[in-house]
Amino acid sequence: MAGRPGPQPSSCDYQSPSPRPPRPCDGPARCDQQPEPGAASLRAGRGAGVRSMEKGLVVTQLDVEAGECIKVKGKIQSDAKGFAVNVGKDSNTLMLHFNPRFDCHGDVNTIVCNSKEDGVWGEEDRKAEFPFQHGDKIEICISFDETEATVKLPEAEFKFPNRLGMEKIEYLAVEGDFKVKAIKFS
């Protein structure tokens, strides 16, 4: 007697600080996305390491200071459930978890922002404005100062407190249903 296969991983399987239990998401897995050759470009001299992870793109050894901008350019998948852009010191210490959710973790058309310190999530900040559409090509610009992080999009801007008082960003990760085309630092 053949057993039933277990649940398949999906784009909603990336780590999110939702207090609600994660719902299974429909659709094929996209957590194994690989960047296209040459898709992630880094300014010379930064000394950053880029690696493709099972759950998306991770850039380490950054040296982004207050007032500088990290621009992530790419395309939201046409059947996206959600994606996340994380910046901070490392995966356990995040200044900002920016998580647009189309239909994921019990949320519909909601942006969830949070921070993480020593592996522990802070209190979620939910944004009512949702300027994303399936299949959109977008550019996200993340900058910060000693008091807050700012996420700029062509039609919207979001602010989130710099709860950890970080003075530089050393880590960037992009997960979920978002295909990274380019990364730029300015």
Pick the CATH number of 40-185 from 1.10.1740.10, 2.60.120.200, 1.20.140.10, 1.10.630.10: 2.60.120.200
Q: Flag whether the pTM goes above 0.85.
A: no
Q: How far apart are CA 103 and CA 118, in angstroms?
A: 28
In the numeric block, the tokens 């759950």 are attached to 55
**Residue 178, pLDDT score:** 95
Mean pLDDT, consecutive 10-residue segments, the chain of 186 residues?
38 48 34 36 41 69 96 96 97 97 92 97 94 96 97 94 97 96 94
Question: What is the torsional sign of CA 125, 85, 102, 138?
Answer: positive
**Residue 154, pLDDT score:** 87
Amino acid of residue 61: Q
